[in-house]
Structure 1
Amino acid sequence: MDILIYVATGLIVVATLLPLSRNPHWIIRGFDFPRMQLACCAALLILLQLIFLNLSEIPSWAVIAATALCLAWQLWWVLPYTKLWRTEVRASKNVDADRQLSILTANVLTSNRDVHKLIALVNKFKPDVLVTLESDKWWESELECLEVDMPETMKCPLDNLYGMHVYSRLPLHEKKISFLVEEDIPSMHARLELGSGDRVLMHFLHPAPPSPTENDESEERDAELIIVARSVADNDQPIIVTGDLNDVAWSRTTRLFRKLSGLLDPRVGRGMFNTFHADYSLLRWPLDHLFHSDHFSVRSIQRLPSIGSDHFPLLSRLSFTPAKSEEQDGLNADQDDKAFASSVANSQDVNKSDVPEPGA
């Protein structure tokens, strides 16, 4: 038993240390994802260590201390996405209906044919904006019925798992579909007009993940997030960035996006809202995101029931409340963050000027 405990401790330590590297290989970056699972394993391992190890020996306390440090480190990353943390975005109070906005983000899974489940959710919750990811021509045809109530659309059907569609009840202006980093990975950009007449700069993203079946390294994904973050950093207009970012909320890359952009994460202090993987309850992470400028406060965030995809849909309800608030503080980038961001963007030969800025 002692040997098994020592081996398990070594594995926990390695899994904790590997993400400290900025190596973009998918194996290294993959350890950004299961931080909650690793924290649970570390807690269980500490219990086993206290039961089975000889606590009169210094080596026993050394491995316990090492595991405890791993547990603390993993919790440092994930605790902000629990109700134990102070919220980053304040809750909205009574707000004029014309200043409210609801967005349903759904990675539909191209091969999924349960389109009726998504349509039922749209009819039930009546979001102002629906964003579909992995939607191809078949999905476009099946969702055509939504255009009666959601006539404003942006369409980029693809059969490579990166098709994207936007359906909106509210007007969309200066619509633009771009391929920011990879020639077959689209993003969408527009200005959405609220019922009040206020306009919101919208960026819809779905960068490819680092994985053995996609990109060996994370630099393509990271570069797209970095240039979008830089493009909105000095923009005073209301901004929302949403989509499947193929990264967890607590990763170094997503934190870098928040630091560079100045955008807020409404999940902080409210919950993880794990949207992937829908079929494996013990292996779920928050891959579908919504970030916004401090012009907004939160009415609610809700993970919706399964639509037959490997992702759950995410419904976010916001209120346009542009008065500045000291309660809404995000993250700040330091010089090291900015230098690293520059190196990643340069490696892909992209910059913030590649990102459309409707209404700039």
Structure 2
Amino acid sequence: MRFVQNFIVFFFSAGAFLLLFLTLIPFLPSVLWPLELLSHFQTQYFLAAAIAVLSAVILRRTLPDLYFSKQLLRPLFLVPLLLALAVSFFSIAPYLPVRIIMGETVKGGETLTVLQSNVYKYNTDYAALLVHIETYNPDIIAVSEATPGWRDALLPLKEKDWPHMIDRAAPGSHGMVVLSRYPFIEKEVLYPSTKTHPVIFFRIRAQERDILLASLHPLSPMTARRYHSRDEDLAATAAYLEAHAKGNVSVIVTGDLNTTMFSPSYKQFIRETGLTNTRRGRGLYGSWPVFLPAPARIAIDHTLYKGELESVHFTTLPSINSDHLSTLAVFR
């Protein structure tokens, strides 16, 4: 009996050390593909560590004579859990909703609003996205997994307030469409890592500023090949911005990047570009997958920026029956 009890305690202690290792992955300079996949769940690791520590304390207080109550508060179990709690908190802390708690509001004045949406290739609820567009009246609309059906549903917007379109709609998950209220000063579509998944670059003049935007939807890193393809798209985007965002040009990068803020690949991209995530200080806003409860989702749909722009608002939007939530970012 005691052997079984000791084995269970060992199992939980090993789990505590594993949890600590998982929280450390975002701080590694580079990792292999399977480890990178495990880096995205820092919010969930924080919650798991917090629940484990709290459970151990409650068990100790309510059943102090129970064998497990004594064992689970020993350093072999508690120390790695507390470290995992601290390390994961350090990862998520920049994205806690401090600005929301302090009462952030979008004040008057001219703004630039970017609506980004992965609509899901099998979703045909076109009206749901059109309601978002009508409600929030964005200046830029960036749609990924845009099939020809989605392109056709968005075409009438050209006759309204978004006359400028970049159309790379296609069957499957790699189609993209961009609509803009502002004329394109220049535009370019590249295919850095595949012949199917574009990275769309375009420059506009808004708020008396030159703004270079990039919209992309790299492959999801579910295999080693797709992982490297995603990172190639991120690297190509960073190189393009370095070459073209000269002087006082501001930059916005938006899309389903298929990475969270905790991935070493994402951190490398941020180091290379100097971009800032509009989530900072506003919340983690998990955007995928929608069918899971909010605490279980991860944030892979982003709007990043740098330059003379000021980020004044970010949020996810109600579901449009996609597996992703759309995002809305407002700049001044």
Is this a same-fold pair by TM over 0.5? yes
- Structure with max Cα Rg: 2
Q: Pick one of 111, 117, 134 that aligns with 2:122.
A: 111
Q: Pick one of 260, 275, 284 that aligns with 1:272.
A: 284
Contact 1:106 1:133 in 2 (8 A): yes
Alignment of 1:237-276 (within 5 A): 237-276=249-288
Paired residue for 1:218? 227
Secondary structure at the aligned position of 2:275 is classed as: coil
Contact 2:192 2:232 in 1 (8 A): no
Cα RMSD (Å) = 2.6
Instruction: Compute the displacement of 1:168 (Å).
Output: 1.1
Q: Which has the higher helix share?
A: 2
Cα displacement string for residues 69-97 of structure 1 (whole angstroms, at most 9, x for unaligned residues):
1111111111111035899xx987553x2
Q: 1:84 to 1:54 in 2, by over 3 A?
A: farther
Instruction: Compute the displacement of 1:2 (Å).
Output: 6.1
Alignment of 1:45-124 (within 5 A): 45-50=52-57, 51=59, 60-84=74-98, 94-95=108-109, 97=110, 100-124=111-135
| CA distance in structure 1 between the partners assigned to 2:36 and 2:256 by the alignment | 17
Paired residue for 2:63? none
Matched, 1:154 2:161: no
Contact 2:117 2:142 in 1 (8 A): yes
Secondary structure at the aligned position of 1:289 is classed as: strand
Unpaired runs of 5+ residues, structure 2, are 61-66
Paired residue for 1:165? 177
Contact 1:92 1:297 in 2 (8 A): no
Secondary structure at the aligned position of 2:74 is classed as: helix
Secondary structure at the aligned position of 1:232 is classed as: helix
| CA distance in structure 1 between the partners assigned to 2:155 and 2:108 by the alignment | 34
Q: 1:118 to 1:85 in 2, by over 3 A?
A: closer
Paired residue for 1:323? none
Matched, 1:24 2:32: yes
Unpaired runs of 5+ residues, structure 1, are 320-360
Paired residue for 2:17? 13
| CA distance in structure 2 between the partners assigned to 1:58 and 1:158 by the alignment | 55
Secondary structure at the aligned position of 1:218 is classed as: helix
Cα displacement string for residues 246-297 of structure 1 (whole angstroms, at most 9, x for unaligned residues):
0012322222211111122222111112211111114211111111113111
| CA distance in structure 2 between the partners assigned to 1:182 and 1:159 by the alignment | 15
Q: Pick one of 180, 183, 202 that aligns with 1:190.
A: 202
Instruction: Compute the displacement of 1:209 (Å).
Output: 1.7
Paired residue for 2:238? 229
Instruction: Compute the displacement of 1:129 (Å).
Output: 0.9
Contact 1:55 1:61 in 2 (8 A): no
Q: 1:66 to 1:15 in 2, by over 3 A?
A: closer
Instruction: Compute the displacement of 1:15 (Å).
Output: 4.4
Contact 1:91 1:298 in 2 (8 A): no
Secondary structure at the aligned position of 1:310 is classed as: coil
| CA distance in structure 2 between the partners assigned to 1:162 and 1:43 by the alignment | 39
| CA distance in structure 2 between the partners assigned to 1:301 and 1:59 by the alignment | 41
| CA distance in structure 2 between the partners assigned to 1:16 and 1:136 by the alignment | 42
Q: 1:258 to 1:142 in 2, by over 3 A?
A: same
| CA distance in structure 1 between the partners assigned to 2:72 and 2:302 by the alignment | 45
TM-score (normalizing by structure 2): 0.85
Paired residue for 2:45? 38
Contact 2:20 2:83 in 1 (8 A): no
| CA distance in structure 1 between the partners assigned to 2:100 and 2:307 by the alignment | 16
Instruction: Compute the displacement of 1:46 (Å).
Output: 1.6
Alignment-mate amino acid for residue 74 of structure 1: S
Alignment-mate amino acid for residue 78 of structure 2: I
Instruction: Compute the displacement of 1:171 (Å).
Output: 1.0
Structure 1 vs Structure 2: percent identity of aligned residues? 23
Contact 1:103 1:317 in 2 (8 A): yes
Secondary structure at the aligned position of 1:270 is classed as: coil
| CA distance in structure 1 between the partners assigned to 2:9 and 2:298 by the alignment | 27
Paired residue for 1:316? 329
TM-score (normalizing by structure 1): 0.79
Alignment-mate amino acid for residue 253 of structure 2: V
Instruction: Compute the displacement of 1:313 (Å).
Output: 0.7
Q: 1:2 to 1:216 in 2, by over 3 A?
A: farther
Alignment-mate amino acid for residue 282 of structure 2: R
Cα displacement string for residues 6-64 of structure 1 (whole angstroms, at most 9, x for unaligned residues):
42442343244253483332x31121121111111111112333325667679822211
